[in-house]
Structure 1
Amino acid sequence: MKHKINLVVYILLLWQLVAVIVNKEVIVPYPLDVFQRMIDMLTDFNFYQTLFITLSHVIIVVAISALIAFVLAYLGYQKPLIDEYVSPLLTMIQAIPNISFIILVLVWVSSLQTVYIVLFLVVFPLLYNNFIQGFKSIDHDLRDVILLYHPTCFEKYFKVYLPLIRPSFLSGMKSSLSLGVKVAVMAEILAGLPYGVGRAINYSRIQFDMVGVFAWTVWLVIMILFIDYILNKVMHDHEF
């Protein structure tokens, strides 16, 4: 904890030094101005609404992606031939720059649909890779024991296999949620979505309000760190 606090202090000092050297708020605002804006945001209902909209995009897509990835990873675990086709395809998708996804998808669908599709294309491969590795790490003897009890599909998925791959599942969720927030904001900006954090950052940029840009950026960093903290705590509490 001490090292983390020291790191934050060093970053703030460096930020203050750069702001003093540049001495132009439209390029690098002063930390105190940014923090004051952040405090002011806490009294504005639109701030919470904006955060909720962006977070809802991420949570919806990650939840759907996790469900599909879990089922597909299970099928790939049961039938390795499926994984031999799916894994290379998802590797190719991961190699495509996110901005290319956004530009291509924008040609075909609306701004909101673009955000959802791009988010899915980014987080789904990540989740699948984590889940399939979790399935592959299951002891083969356990698989034989499971078959002896003939569990229902629901019991097999959520009461047997999900606990067995819990570390991989939680690790995948942690990575996808953190990455999802960043990708969602970028997609909101490039797709020109009329609401969300991306819209707020883009509006501040157009108005040459760098204090606003920095304030929203710091809030995003805090939100991502908070998500990481919660999931790290969950992972620690559920260690085998």
Structure 2
Amino acid sequence: MRRSTTADNRKDGKRFTVRKGTAAKAGTGFRVWAIVFWLVVWQLTSMALGQEILLVSPVSVLLRLGTLIRTLAFWHAVSFSFIRIVGGFVLALLAGVLFAALSFCFSWFRELLHPLMAVIKATPVASFIILCLVWIPSRGLSVFISFLMVLPIIYTNVLEGIHHTDRQLLEMAEIFRVRGLRRIRYIYFSQVMPYFRSACGVSLGLCWKSGIAAEVIGMPDGSIGDMLYQAKIYLDTPDLFAWTFVIILVSVLFGKVFMKLLDTAIHAIERS
């Protein structure tokens, strides 16, 4: 019998089950031919223009990327940006869950945070970056900006998940005197986790976009953002595309690894 993963998200009171194998195969097949198609379009467009300063070919980008990978500066830049952006992401996860729990327990805390979260969600990333440069050194800017952009998403989703916890389960827990950590473990965890997982999926891409944008504006030495800015200054189109490809690749790989580890942790806790 084929194993299936059950998504705990509910819609109209129904529970949905997704066949993991079939869906994954279909999605992968679609992505492969779509990627090949757009690479061919990119190559043909570059050949038609005949000016690599305007649009470099994918072949040139791969060759330049192969050269960059063999340099120490490349790995220093990747590690510099990765540690800071991922650090901001992890801090936002912890703070978002904590703030959501406090907001659920104390209405005054929720009312206090509401205007702050609304301002963070409405303010453009570039405005935050420029404002934060006044107080924060450029080397730490990507940490704070990634944290700031992810925090409202985690906070809002987790708080919504807590509020949508099945009332009948809570009443049953009250009758059987299930309180404290046991209530969190056996009731809130299963109810809130789909919201938390969804928030993580949305936040993963956003933290990298905002973090790299902070580095491009702040220009900390040895960061990916600084490399992008230097490529723009010198009109080095192959470098610009190569570093952009690196950002996409690192972001996607980290997202897949993180979500895989998260799913593994969820299943381990559910089986324990």
Aligned counterpart, 2:38:
11
RMSD of equivalent CA atoms: 2.6
Question: 1:219 Cα shift?
Answer: 1.6
- Percent identity of the aligned residues? 23
Match of 1:212 among 211, 233, 239: 239
Aligned counterpart, 2:150:
123
Question: 1:85 Cα shift?
Answer: 4.1
Question: What amino acid sits opposite 1:41 in the alignment?
Answer: L
Match of 1:165 among 185, 192, 197: 192
Aligned counterpart, 1:48:
75
Conserved? CA contact 2:73–2:222, under 8 Å: no
CA offsets per residue over residues 122-172 of structure 1, 9 Å max, x none?
1111111121122122123444527924435xx776786445422222222
Aligned length: 238
Aligned counterpart, 2:4:
none
User: Could you state the TM-score of these two structures normalised by the residue count of structure 2?
Assistant: 0.77
Question: 1:236 Cα shift?
Answer: 6.0
Aligned counterpart, 2:206:
179
Aligned counterpart, 1:93:
120
Match of 1:107 among 134, 137, 150: 134
1:64 matched to 2:114? The reply is no
CA offsets per residue over residues 6-34 of structure 1, 9 Å max, x none?
11012111211221122112221111010
CA offsets per residue over residues 71-96 of structure 1, 9 Å max, x none?
11012222345334423431222111
Question: What amino acid sits opposite 1:148 in the alignment?
Answer: R
Aligned counterpart, 1:151:
180
What pairs up with 1:29-48 in 2 under 5 angstroms? 29-48=56-75
Aligned counterpart, 2:161:
134
Question: 1:54 Cα shift?
Answer: 0.8
Conserved? CA contact 2:85–2:211, under 8 Å: yes
Relative to structure 1, the CA distance from residue 141 to residue 82 in structure 2 (aligned partners, 3 Å threshold; closer, same or farther) is farther
Task: Please give the alpha-carbon distance, in whole angstroms, between the structure 2 residues aligned to 1:40 and 1:167.
Answer: 42
User: Could you state the TM-score of these two structures normalised by the residue count of structure 1?
Assistant: 0.86
1:202 matched to 2:229? The reply is yes
Q: Which runs of 5+ in 2 are unaligned?
A: 1-27
CA offsets per residue over residues 44-89 of structure 1, 9 Å max, x none?
3332221111111122112222111111101222234533442343
Q: Which runs of 5+ in 1 are unaligned?
A: none
Question: 1:41 Cα shift?
Answer: 2.7
Question: 1:185 Cα shift?
Answer: 0.8
Conserved? CA contact 2:85–2:142, under 8 Å: no
Aligned counterpart, 2:250:
223
Q: Where is the strand percentage greater, Structure 1 or Structure 2?
A: 2
1:73 matched to 2:100? The reply is yes
Whichever of the two has the greater Rg, that structure is 2
Question: What amino acid sits opposite 1:119 in the alignment?
Answer: S
Question: Relative to structure 2, which stretch is displaced further, 36-45 or 101-110?
Answer: 36-45
CA offsets per residue over residues 211-240 of structure 1, 9 Å max, x none?
011011112112222233334545666578
Question: Relative to structure 2, which stretch is displaced further, 200-209 or 85-94?
Answer: 85-94
For CA contacts below 8 A with separation 6 or more, give which structure has more relative contact order: 1
Aligned counterpart, 2:15:
none
